[in-house]
């Protein structure tokens, strides 16, 4: 599988930003269109919530909670009412462009991957008429880009992300919890909500098992909307190379410290990183959000496609076996 190009990296090699965005759109349309939104069911497939036509109940396959009692009473034959996917939804994305995103040791930087993920969701939803808007975390500010329809509006939104200057270190922790809370309170119309961040949060008092600050607002958001959390990673955030003495800088606080990367330290770092990522996965599941991991050293288009196909198969099986879904 060939790697997908990042818009920011293209712009950095002398190509115009518009050329980079066109290339991103072409990548999305060629490789993902018709796959992620095959029947207006979004990145996280589901049965929808709008009532559709009634049909005869099939024991063992249909959910009794969808029983159409009025038709059943008139015909004396059990009927269920199918659900169809919502139409004219609003898709909103929360893009984390804090200082920790200005980092990358592989094919692209993390901020390039953020733009690619936003573009993938945006181009697909805009092609079926959904309005698309964004909240952007940049430095110590949270910016709102209003929801609009159409290709020009999508280009303008992505151009804003590309033009965002790199975040200067020292702004403190990312305001992710506050931004999720704003997203949930300000945009009441239901639809898809996508949060793109590295979720670099150690929990309270540095304990990865403790509740994150963003968990409660994420749960409130997922109670009304379809939520997908896209975790952006670089391989050097998971393990350190054997290079001896290095100077490490925290992009959120600006603090710098020299560390000798001995085998013991590298092993402890890898274990701590794995524990933090596992705890993040558990926290997102507690919130009821989908969890997609994109890495700077992997083909992000392939990972999105594999995630979507896997969850569509899961949703299909859950729909056929309601008892299995209840016990999952």
Distances (CA, A) of 229 to 44, 152, 197, 267: 11, 26, 8, 28
- Do both 196 and 64 map to the same domain? no
Question: How many angstroms separate the CA atoms of 136 and 134, rounded?
Answer: 6
> For residue 125, what pLDDT is reported?
77
- Do both 264 and 323 map to the same domain? yes
Residue 106 lies in a domain: yes
Report the range of poorest mean pLDDT among 46-50, 195-199, 306-310, 313-317.
46-50
Report the range of poorest mean pLDDT among 99-108, 232-241, 243-252, 291-300.
243-252
- Do both 74 and 139 map to the same domain? no
pLDDT of 178 above 90: yes
- Do both 80 and 157 map to the same domain? no
Residue 61 lies in a domain: yes
pLDDT of 109 above 50: yes
Residue 96 lies in a domain: yes
- Do both 245 and 281 map to the same domain? yes
- Do both 69 and 218 map to the same domain? no
3-state helix vs strand vs coil in the chain, percent to 5: 45, 20, 35
By DSSP bridging, strand 90-96 and strand 131-138 are parallel
pLDDT of 204 above 80: no
Name the pTM for this structure: 0.77
> For residue 315, what pLDDT is reported?
57
User: What is the average pLDDT across 264-283?
Assistant: 93
Residue 183 lies in a domain: yes
Q: Tens of pLDDT along 121-137?
A: 888 777 667 789 999 99
Three-state SS string over 160-199 comes to HHHHCCCCCCCCCCCCHHHHHHHHHHHCCCCCEEEEEECC
- Do both 133 and 212 map to the same domain? yes
User: What is the average pLDDT across 312-316?
Assistant: 61
Question: How many angstroms separate the CA atoms of 41 and 309, rounded?
Answer: 12
- Do both 200 and 256 map to the same domain? yes
- Do both 31 and 54 map to the same domain? no
Report the range of poorest mean pLDDT among 20-29, 84-93, 259-268, 288-297.
84-93
- The residue from 62, 84, 106 where one domain ends is 84
- Do both 71 and 117 map to the same domain? no
Specify the CATH number for the domain of residue 98: 3.40.50.410
| pLDDT tier, 74 (very low <50, low <70, confident <90, very high otherwise) | confident
Q: Which residues constitute the domain of residue 65?
A: 50-84
The 10 Å Cβ neighbour count of residue 177 is 17
Average pLDDT of the chain?
80
187 or 234: whose pLDDT is higher? 234
pLDDT of 293 above 60: yes
Residue 143 lies in a domain: yes
Report the range of poorest mean pLDDT among 11-15, 146-150, 306-310.
11-15
Q: Tens of pLDDT along 207-229?
A: 667 788 999 999 999 998 889 99
Percent of the chain with pLDDT over 90: 34
Residue 44 lies in a domain: no
Residue 43 lies in a domain: no
- Do both 194 and 71 map to the same domain? no
| pLDDT tier, 157 (very low <50, low <70, confident <90, very high otherwise) | very high
- Do both 80 and 94 map to the same domain? no
197 or 10: whose pLDDT is higher? 197
> For residue 55, what pLDDT is reported?
80
The token duo for 99 is 């200082």
Helical segments of 226-299, H only = 263-287
Structural domain count, the chain: 2
């Amino acid at each position: 599988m060939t790697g997908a190009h990042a818009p920011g990296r293209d712009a950095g090699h002398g190509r115009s930003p518009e050329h980079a965005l066109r290339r991103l759109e072409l990548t999305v349309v060629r490789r993902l269109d018709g796959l992620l939104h095959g029947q207006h069911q979004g990145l996280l497939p589901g049965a929808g919530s709008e009532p559709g036509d009634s049909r005869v109940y099939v024991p063992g396959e249909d959910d009794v909670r969808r029983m159409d009692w009025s038709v059943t009473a008139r015909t004396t034959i059990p009927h269920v009412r199918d659900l169809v996917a919502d139409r004219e939804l609003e898709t909103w994305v929360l893009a984390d462009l804090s200082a920790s995103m200005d980092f990358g040791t592989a094919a692209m930087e993390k901020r390039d991957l953020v733009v690619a993920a936003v573009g993938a969701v945006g181009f697909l939803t805009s092609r079926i008429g959904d309005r698309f808007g964004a909240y952007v975390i940049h430095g110590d500010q949270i910016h709102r880009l209003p929801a609009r329809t159409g290709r020009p509006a999508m280009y303008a939104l992505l151009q804003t992300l590309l033009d965002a200057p790199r975040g200067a270190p020292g702004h403190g922790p990312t305001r992710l919890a506050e931004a999720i809370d704003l997203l949930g309170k300000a945009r009441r119309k239901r639809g898809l909500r996508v949060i793109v961040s590295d979720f670099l949060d150690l929990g309270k008092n540095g304990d990865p098992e403790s509740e994150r600050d963003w968990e409660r607002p994420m749960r409130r958001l997922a109670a009304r909307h379809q939520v997908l959390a896209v975790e952006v990673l670089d391989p050097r955030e998971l393990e350190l190379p054997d290079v001896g003495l290095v100077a490490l800088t925290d992009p959120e606080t600006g603090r710098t410290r020299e560390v000798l990367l001995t085998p013991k330290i590298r092993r402890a770092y890898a274990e701590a990183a794995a524990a933090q990522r596992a705890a993040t996965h558990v926290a997102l599941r507690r919130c009821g959000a989908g969890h997609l991991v994109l890495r700077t050293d992997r083909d992000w288009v392939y990972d999105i496609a594999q995630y979507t196909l896997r969850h569509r198969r899961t949703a299909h099986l859950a729909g056929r076996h309601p008892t299995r879904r209840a016990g999952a």
